[in-house]
């Protein structure tokens, strides 16, 4: 924990968990989508479902999807801004069962027709955990430089990705791989200490059997 975790974040109110955290979940979904969204179906569970109107949780989730940061004053008007941009959106209040009380699930379609489904929880103070991508259970906070690689579960992919990072002198702090079934869809989540530059991301995209690559940059970069 550092001083700027306490004196911060700079954010649009009223609630770090229900507004700032929600915006961050939306932003991660947007990053994973990797393009302008045109349609979103957003499910809210628990306390999100109960208090979203008063906390602007819906506005924050959508603002994040449009790429707004947690301190962007436009969060307040995000529903109108989305309509102006022609983005279709639906909010549902749902019961997801045994998940964190501040959980949202975002089904988003991009302008190319690409679809992703991202589920995350806002766990306090603007901190979040992403818990699912396209139905695959994952776990990362977005506090470090996070590389999300969607790929086929084939031998050598992990080595190919980590080799690129090693050459770029990027230190891996945490890493996890998840798969649906042997040889099926898989996701690699790498949390790194250094930023990962465009050139390296492109190299990773070019690895065969890699279908998409996204990078989530840390929240505390208000420098």
Partner 1 sequence: MKNFSVEMLVQEANNQRKSISEIVMEQESADSGKTHEELLQRMLKSLNVMEEAIKEGMNPNLRSASGLSGGNTFKLSQAIEQGTIKSNMFSKAMVRALAVSELNACMGRIVAAPTAGSAGILPAVLFTAKEEYDVSDEILAKALFTAGGIGIIIAEQASISGAEGGCQAECGSATGMAAAALVEILGGTPEMSAHACAIALKNAMGLVCDPVAGLVEVPCVKRNVSGTVNAFAAANLALAGIKSAIPVDEVIKAMGTVGRQMPRELKETAEGGIAITPTAKKIQSCQS
> Residues in the site for partner 1, rule: CB under 8 A?
1-16, 18-20, 47, 50-51, 53-56, 59, 71, 73, 75-76, 124-126, 222-223
Q: Between 50 and 114, name the residue whose CB sits nearer to partner 1.
A: 50
Q: Between 32 and 66, name the residue whose CB sits nearer to partner 1.
A: 66
Residues 69-90 as b/e (b if ≥16 CB within 10 A, e otherwise) read bbebeebbebbebbeeeebebe
Q: Between 109 and 141, name the residue whose CB sits nearer to partner 1.
A: 141
- The tokens of 137 are what? 């259970």
Distance CA 88, CA 144 (A): 31
- Smallest gap from residue 86 Cβ to partner 1 (A): 24
- H-type alpha helices, 34-173: 47-55, 57-65, 78-84, 157-167
| Residue 190: strand pairing partners | 147, 175
Distance CA 141, CA 129 (A): 4
- The tokens of 193 are what? 């200490």
Nearest-CA neighbor of 42 among 117, 96, 113, 99? 117
Sign of the CA dihedral running 3, 124, 12, 88: positive
Q: Between 135 and 223, name the residue whose CB sits nearer to partner 1.
A: 223
- Smallest gap from residue 19 Cβ to partner 1 (A): 7
- Smallest gap from residue 176 Cβ to partner 1 (A): 25
Distance CA 59, CA 82 (A): 10
Q: Between 36 and 71, name the residue whose CB sits nearer to partner 1.
A: 71
- Smallest gap from residue 189 Cβ to partner 1 (A): 24
- Smallest gap from residue 8 Cβ to partner 1 (A): 6
Q: Between 100 and 105, name the residue whose CB sits nearer to partner 1.
A: 100
Residue 143 near residue 192, CB atoms below 8 Å: no
- Smallest gap from residue 161 Cβ to partner 1 (A): 27
């Amino acid at each position: 924990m550092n001083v700027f975790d306490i004196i911060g974040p700079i954010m649009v109110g009223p609630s770090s968990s229900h507004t700032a955290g929600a915006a961050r979940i939306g932003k991660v979904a947007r990053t994973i989508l990797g393009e302008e969204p045109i349609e979103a179906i957003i499910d809210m569970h628990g306390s999100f479902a109960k208090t979203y109107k008063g906390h602007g949780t819906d506005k924050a989730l959508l603002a994040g999807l449009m790429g707004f940061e947690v301190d962007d004053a436009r969060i307040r008007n995000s529903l109108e801004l989305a309509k102006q941009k022609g983005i279709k959106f639906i909010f549902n209040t749902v019961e997801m069962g045994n998940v964190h009380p501040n959980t949202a699930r975002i089904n988003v379609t991009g302008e190319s027709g690409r679809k992703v489904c991202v589920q995350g929880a806002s766990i306090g103070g603007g901190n979040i955990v992403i818990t699912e991508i396209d139905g695959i259970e994952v776990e990362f906070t977005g506090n470090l430089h996070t590389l999300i690689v969607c790929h086929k579960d084939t031998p050598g992919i992990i080595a190919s990705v980590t080799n690129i990072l090693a050459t770029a002198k990027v230190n891996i702090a945490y890493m996890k791989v998840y798969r649906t079934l042997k040889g099926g869809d898989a996701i690699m989540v790498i949390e790194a200490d250094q930023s990962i530059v465009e050139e390296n991301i492109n190299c990773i995209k070019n690895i065969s059997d890699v279908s998409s690559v996204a990078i989530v940059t840390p929240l505390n970069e208000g420098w």
